[in-house]
Amino acid sequence: MTRSIAYHASPLLASKTPVWRSKFIVAALGLAFVGLGARAAYVQVVGNEFFQRQGEVRFARTLELPANRGRVLDRNGLILASSVAAQSIWAIPEDVDKTHPRLADAAKLLDIKLADLKKRLSDEDKTFVWVKRQVDEPVAKEVEALGIKGIYLRKDYKRQYPEGEAAAHVVGFTNVEDVGQEGVELAFNKQLSGTPGSRRVIKDRLGRVIEDVRDAIPPQDGPDLQLSIDSKVQFFAHQKLTEAVRAHKAKAGSVVVMDVVSGEVLALANYPSYNPNRREHLSGEQLRNRALTDTFEPGSTMKPFVAALALEHKLVRPDTVIQTAPGRLTIGGSTISDAHPNGALTVNEVIQKSSNVGTVKMAMQFQPREMWEMFHDIGMGQKPDVPFPGAVSGRLRAHKSWRPIEQATMSYGYGLSASLYQLAQAYTIFARDGELIVPTLVRQPEQAHGQRVFSEKNALAVRHMLHLATSKGGTAPKAQTMGYSVGGKTGTAHKQEGKGYADKKYRSFFVGLAPVEQPRVVVAVMIDEPSNGQYYGGLVAAPVFSETVQQTLRILGVPPDMSVKPQIVVEAVEESF
């Protein structure tokens, strides 16, 4: 029989609940709501920027839209440097499974050690890391096909240099960020770079773009830069220089070619060089743009300027006779000698045979200040006006400190220093009838304006002397070239070593112009430390000048001014240091 229970009669229900308990519960609930309200106010109002920023860090991304870097062109519009489309591989480290079986395949495709790849994916930044920049399109597509979560592609640009080693020191190169590091790429980096655009987006955990936060800002591509360099002349000059350096077992060499009508630099070649497309194992020796960064005592190439100054001051005429016998001259206890005694020589012959004694006798008639002003006017001791990193000014001491023997040695190129580029520029004086021009590396079709240094009459007289130096009886018959008359001056200088000069280390150079009657180009050649038995500038540097001049004038369309027949005279070469 079921017993009925009267729950309403339970003694528990009959007991009274304390009032404080209900009040406590109500108060606790009220405080909880107040806390939630305060927290909401803090998140929405007080700390809004912080939480907004944290949300953006996790999901918002600013995608840079790279600008296409401007091309570098030669004077004829041929490409010296351009950007091509490439892909860069990036990753969200926290999304990548470090044990993924295909991670090793990705490392192999990207030519990265698996351990290095995993190290990059363990970066402190869990939201973004570069895996590899500027990957070729086919390789990038293969990596994408592996389907590894957290690894993505991004469009990028890769710089290419079609002329390779020949134009490396002119054009230079950029780094992976497309920022110029050497040469024109560095000197004109701001102009070539353009302005990158941007796109602000929201991405999900898989890296997919969900929406754009704002309108994209399109990139502005960099403008093209057209240089004065002629890629054909540049290639040929580099080729002949390379052959000469190797044939004479030399340490290095440089060639500068200038158009004296427009003032444009047509070629600036150096050896050793490097391939700007592959820079894995570059050395300082390869990177140095020696034509601009290396200075040396210019030796006998200074003698024509002393002769011009003597003509300018009416101290001599081209046919004035100077006694150089017995081939020696003592000044202040030091003896200056000619390589070969010559006896009485006219001023023309002093330059033709490169007589130290004859040059010194002209120089010692000047006040030191007059010689210093002349050297200064032709650009010695001054940084050349060329937008190139590392261009040097050379050395020209103040005339007040010159001793007589120093004034004497400076007349034939010892005691001051210059770069090959400065020498080439100085010789534009004789090519431009007494005017010094400022060369340019940027295309400039107009005729250059010059600053007068010597009178036209005296500049023409010295130009005739330079022509004699390359003729029979001169120091550089090997400078002659088929079809064109040439003029120039040799130089052979002992290299400085410690506090003195090395006995068997030389720099050999030749600076000249062509054609003689209406010069179009100045070409300067320097060979550093020839060590294969020959070291005179007339034997080592002059042949490079000859071949470069002939090819350059043909490319420029300059008609021959001589009968096209062999002009080289084979005979013993006399030259003074």
CB 265 within 8 A of CB 301: no
Q: In the structure encoding, which two tokens stand for residue 208, read together?
A: 């997919």
Nearest in space to 494 (alpha carbons), one of 523, 528, 524:
528
Residue 209 φ/ψ, nearest 5 degrees: -75, 125
CB 252 within 8 A of CB 272: yes
**228 touches 265 (CB < 8 A):** yes
For β-strands 521-528 and 252-259, DSSP reports them as antiparallel
Distance CA 351, CA 304 (A): 7
Q: How far is CA 90 from the centre of its chain?
A: 31
Q: Alpha-carbon torsion 110, 116, 119, 123, what sign? A: negative
Catalytic residue among 231, 300, 355, 508: 300
**Three-state SS for 27?**
helix
DSSP code per residue over 187-203: HTHHHHH-B-EEEEEEE
**125 burial type by CB count under 10 A (0-12 exposed, 13-18 middle, 19+ buried):** exposed
Measured CA to CA, the distance from residue 344 to residue 322 in angstroms comes to: 6
The DSSP element (H or E) to which 84 belongs, if any, is strand 79-91
- Count CB neighbours of 7 within 10 A: 7
Distance CA 542, CA 255 (A): 11
**CA–CA separation, 365 vs 358, rounded Å?**
12
CA angle 307, 313, 319 (to 5 degrees): 50
Asked if residues 65 and 218 have their Cβ atoms less than 8 Å apart, the reply is: yes
Residue 318 phi/psi, 5-degree rounding, is -55, -30
> Catalytic: 10?
no
User: Residue 218 has which token pair?
Assistant: 């399109």
Place of tokens 């240091």: 577
Q: Which residues are catalytic?
A: 300
